[in-house]
Structure 1
Amino acid sequence: MPRATTRSQTPGTAAPSAVRTVEVDAESAGQRLDNFLLRQLKGVPKTHVYRIIRSGEVRINKGRASADTRVNAGDQVRLPPVRVSEKMADKAERPAPAREFPLLLEDEHLIAIDKPAGTAVHGGSGVSFGVIEQLRQARPQARFLELVHRLDRETSGILLVAKKRSALTQLQDQFRQRETGKTYLALVVGTWPARKKLIDTPLHKYLQPDGERRVRVTTPEDPDAMRAITLVKVRSVLPERPDAGLPAFTLLEVTIKTGRTHQIRVHLASQGHPIAGDEKYGDFELNRQLQRQGLKRMFLHAWRLQFDHPASGVRTELLAPLPPDLAIFVHDTP
């Protein structure tokens, strides 16, 4: 009679789950595959979720799929066995703290909030919760709350949340088809040449050995190149301050025609004008000096958003003024 064997388990990890198949329900229809999995695989690091998608271990109706594939109601999604650290599993069991955010607009279809810097839009990549989890906890009666788009954790400003599936799909279609107007305020190092109004340089996304996501400019010949278009307008120039050891800065209005990961940060840095305070693509020595002068984070703010209202079709424009920490720094610079 064959004898059952057991494998030793790494301390601090839960045993891997078995292969399972999940059927996509109507409420989840239209979500990207990566977002769908992040909700299904609580406690699994975001980097691992993307790894199992790329390896083909995740299947939709027995076929391979990419992270941006949209799931449909009734789809059968195969989930491979995954290990969850006990620490992460414990975090997943604990609900996010309830939190409301400054409102720019709310009706029965959507919520527009002014996201503070330092707050992730959702949990993952070492962050146990974000805006959407906190908002759901604050509004337990809400039947449906989903992010329409994303902002980097370090970026402040306008963020849309759908309150109905119809609003979500309609707004996401506008973002995909580039029918929205997204303009940011960014403070960059140096004097930006006023004639430089367009950056049309493709980007390449990659992972560092530690799993951190990074982006760099590339050439159109790169098989992984993603076209990225950024429009730039000079708003004001802040002269250098030799007394404080600071160079000149330029406050820009930056409108993106494509929504690539880290697009603004990488495009501006590639022109020799990184965003002040950017810890990934910026001037690290200058950033330390800026912190001593009161700028504690990256100067990038989602300032204006234009879109067609998902119910009425009326063109809507939202504005989020610079938060005090950024406004004070600009106004205090002669």
Structure 2
Amino acid sequence: MASEQNFAQVQLLTVAEDDAGQRIDNFLLRICKGVPKSHIYRILRSGEVRVNKGRIDQLYRLKEGDVVRVPPIRVAEKPSNHVPGAEFAVIFEDPHLLIIDKPAGVAVHGGSGVSFGVIEQLRAARPEAKFLELVHRLDRETSGLLLLAKKRTALVSLHEQMRDGETDKRYLTMVAGDWRNQRQHIKLPLHKYTTADGERRVRVQADGMESHTVFSLKKKFKDFALLEAELKTGRTHQIRVHLSSSGFPILGDDKYGDFALNRELLKANEHRGALKRMFLHAHQISFRHPATGEILKLNAPLPKECENFVRSLMVDG
């Protein structure tokens, strides 16, 4: 595995087995610690980074034995922020996988105004770990099951399963509105864009990426509905935008939700308890174990605040 180093002059790096299959941009981001992400993408676009003496784009996947030319880069001597090591509730762990129950309000990785996230904290807490990578992502305000690979072979296998639609990811969410159908498919194309202040957003757009979510009604209340969302595709903010665009905003969603209702939910009233987070929780995932082939089906219980909110609605009838 390539180590972090200071690139004061041109470097020629030979790709080891552990780095094979990794995208060139992720490879550079990992080994060039202290270099802004924007600079990494700039040298990729400019053609200064070469693989086997040829130009490549940022989506190129490295092969064992590839020779990567990295131009001179000024690397910060020290990281600007110390990352405190942290462990999270472990749902499953073996030599290949680590699956945790991520709390709401914690980013999965640093960037976009966040100095560090789950992956950086876990690496700091496990300095002996030779390999630890996110298999997928969860929004910062979404809680629940998060998969990490402890071997590159596991990462490649799980990415293939996700690409081929073999994994089954399900979320629990509470929405506002009069939800009628027991089971409903929503297929709305999604387009990613960036706001004027640099915030990442998604909207429904005719030429967007094909996106498909299946929603099942778990419990209907007077003003709200508890749904299970089954992802058929895995687009950014997919569940949030599919529901919001269909007239059923997720409770507590600060990007696509009903902002006036969100303010009301911060305080309890005679009909319900308070809710001070987004009600979206990755509660179940099924996939094939990358080493044994066994089908794993894992669950993470609803966080206490969400559970208490549901119970308060049941008391009201």
TM range (shorter): 0.7 to 0.9
Structure 2 CA distance for partners of 1:190 and 1:40, relative to 1, 3 Å? same
Could you tell me which runs of 5 or more consecutive residues in structure 2 were left unpaired when the two chains were aligned. 1-6, 269-273
Paired position in structure 1 for 2:3: none
Query: Offset at 1:137?
Result: 1.5
Paired position in structure 2 for 1:232: 215
1:288 corresponds, among 252, 256, 263, to: 263
Paired position in structure 2 for 1:263: 238
Query: Offset at 1:60?
Result: 4.8
Alpha-carbon distance between aligned partners in 2 of 1:155 and 1:297, rounded to the nearest angstrom: 9
1:211 corresponds, among 198, 201, 215, to: 198
Query: Offset at 1:31?
Result: 2.6
Structure 2 CA distance for partners of 1:147 and 1:94, relative to 1, 3 Å? same
Residue 119 of structure 2 corresponds to residue 132 of structure 1:
yes
Alpha-carbon distance between aligned partners in 2 of 1:138 and 1:107, rounded to the nearest angstrom: 17
Alpha-carbon distance between aligned partners in 2 of 1:278 and 1:74, rounded to the nearest angstrom: 46
Query: Offset at 1:57?
Result: 5.3
SS in 2 for 1:118: coil
Alpha-carbon distance between aligned partners in 2 of 1:197 and 1:282, rounded to the nearest angstrom: 20
Give runs of aligned pairs for residues 124-203 of structure 1, distance below 5 A: 124-194=111-181, 197-203=184-190
Query: Offset at 1:45?
Result: 5.0
Give runs of aligned pairs for residues 2-151 of structure 1, distance below 5 A: 20=10, 23=13, 24-46=15-37, 48=38, 52=42, 55-56=45-46, 59-61=49-51, 62-66=54-58, 68-77=59-68, 92-151=79-138
Alpha-carbon distance between aligned partners in 1 of 2:34 and 2:188, rounded to the nearest angstrom: 37
Query: Offset at 1:109?
Result: 1.1
SS in 2 for 1:236: strand
With 50-59 and 312-321 compared, the bigger mean Cα shift is at 50-59
Paired position in structure 2 for 1:312: 292
Paired position in structure 2 for 1:276: 251
Structure 2 CA distance for partners of 1:310 and 1:198, relative to 1, 3 Å? same
Paired position in structure 2 for 1:327: 307
RMSD between superposed Cα atoms in Å: 2.5
Alpha-carbon distance between aligned partners in 2 of 1:77 and 1:153, rounded to the nearest angstrom: 33
Query: Offset at 1:77?
Result: 4.8
Structure 2 CA distance for partners of 1:119 and 1:210, relative to 1, 3 Å? same
Paired position in structure 2 for 1:6: none
Identity of aligned residues (%): 55
SS in 2 for 1:292: coil
CA contact (8 A) 1:45 1:125 kept: no
Structure 2 CA distance for partners of 1:34 and 1:323, relative to 1, 3 Å? farther
Query: Offset at 1:303?
Result: 0.6
1:252 corresponds, among 224, 227, 234, to: 227
Alpha-carbon distance between aligned partners in 1 of 2:178 and 2:43, rounded to the nearest angstrom: 43
Structure 2 CA distance for partners of 1:196 and 1:209, relative to 1, 3 Å? same
What residue identity is the alignment partner of 2:218? Answer: R
Structure 2 CA distance for partners of 1:45 and 1:186, relative to 1, 3 Å? farther
What residue identity is the alignment partner of 2:201? Answer: R
Alpha-carbon distance between aligned partners in 2 of 1:176 and 1:325, rounded to the nearest angstrom: 33
Alpha-carbon distance between aligned partners in 2 of 1:96 and 1:127, rounded to the nearest angstrom: 11
Structure 2 CA distance for partners of 1:56 and 1:260, relative to 1, 3 Å? farther
Alpha-carbon distance between aligned partners in 2 of 1:22 and 1:206, rounded to the nearest angstrom: 35
CA contact (8 A) 1:59 1:65 kept: no
What residue identity is the alignment partner of 2:244? Answer: A
Could you tell me which runs of 5 or more consecutive residues in structure 1 were left unpaired when the two chains were aligned. 1-16, 240-247
TM-score when normalising by structure 1 = 0.81
SS in 2 for 1:197: strand
Query: Offset at 1:254?
Result: 0.2
Alpha-carbon distance between aligned partners in 1 of 2:12 and 2:200, rounded to the nearest angstrom: 28
